[in-house]
Chains A and B, each alone.
Chain A
C-alpha cells in the first residue's frame, strides 16, 4: 500500500469491504453468543495480537490499508510490532516498553479527548 494505491478507487473499495467484513464477524459473535460488546472488543484486540504474532496482520494492512488498520485488532497488532521492534533493539526492556510506546499516540489522544469532551459537553437525555 503506497500513496497512489491508497487513494485510488480500488483502495477505498478494499478498505470498505475488508473493514466491513471484520465488523460483520464481530457483530455475528455478538449476536450468536452471550458475549457483550465489551467482551467482543477485548476478543478482537486479542485476536489481532495473535494474528500479528503469526505474521498475518501486517500483510492484511498492506492489502486493505485502513480496512485493517482502523478496526480494533490493529491495536493488538501495533502492540506486538512495537514489542518485537523494541526487543530487537534493546532486548527485554524494549520488549516491555515497545508495545505501549507504539500505541501511545492514539491512546494519549483518546485520554485527552475523553477528558475534554466530558468537561465540554453534557450527555443527551
Chain B
C-alpha cells in the first residue's frame, strides 16, 4: 500500500513537472546578458566621469552607484523600468538600478494604503531582506577575515 502511494506520488510529481511551463532558459540568459551588460556599460560611463574628476576607485564606485540608483528610481517612476525588467529579467533586477526599482515600485503600488503603512513600509519589501542579510553576511565575512589575519584585538 505504501509502495503504491509512493508511485502515485511520483507519477503525480512527474505530471506536474511536465505540465508546468518551463522558462525559456536560453532566451532568458541572452536577454539577461544584454540587459545587465548595457546597464553596467552605462554605469561605466558614470564611473569614468567620477574617476576623471579625481575620485578614488572606491569613492567613484559608490558615487556612481548612487547616480544609477537615482536613474533606476526615475525610470521606475516613469513606468519604463518595469518594462525593461519584463524583457531582461535578472539583467534588470540584479544591477543596483534594479534595487532602486524594488524600492520605488512597491512604494508607488501601495500609495493608496497610506503614507506610513503603504509607502513607508512597502518601500522595504525587497530592500529590507536584502539589507538584513547583507549586514549579517558582511559582519560574518569581516569577523572571519579579521580573525584569519589576526586583526581583531590587535
Contact = CB atoms under 8 A, between A and B. Distances in A.
Contact of B104 (A84, A99, A117): A117
B44 A75 contact: no
Contacts of A71: 36, 40, 94-96
Interface residues of B, number: 84
16 contacts: A7-B48, A20-B34, A27-B91, A42-B133, A45-B137, A49-B141, A65-B47, A70-B40, A71-B36, A99-B138, A110-B69, A117-B108, A121-B77, A121-B79, A123-B109, A124-B79
Nearest to B142: A83
Contacts of B88: 23
Give the secondary structure class of B's interface: helix
Contacts of A69: 43, 47, 61, 64-65
Interface in B105-154: 105, 107-109, 111, 119-120, 123, 126-127, 129-131, 133-135, 137-146, 151-152
Contacts of A79: 134-135, 138
A110 B43 contact: no
A50 B143 CA distance: 11
A30 B137 CA distance: 21
A45 B142 CA distance: 14
Interface of B: 23, 25, 28-29, 32-48, 51-52, 57-58, 61-66, 68-70, 73-74, 76-79, 82, 88-91, 93-100, 102-105, 107-109, 111, 119-120, 123, 126-127, 129-131, 133-135, 137-146, 151-152
A23 B109 CA distance: 26
B43 to A, nearest CB: 3
A63 B140 CA distance: 26
Contact of A15 (B43, B130, B142, B144): B43
A106 to B, nearest CB: 4
Given A40-B90, A46-B134, A23 B35 contact: yes
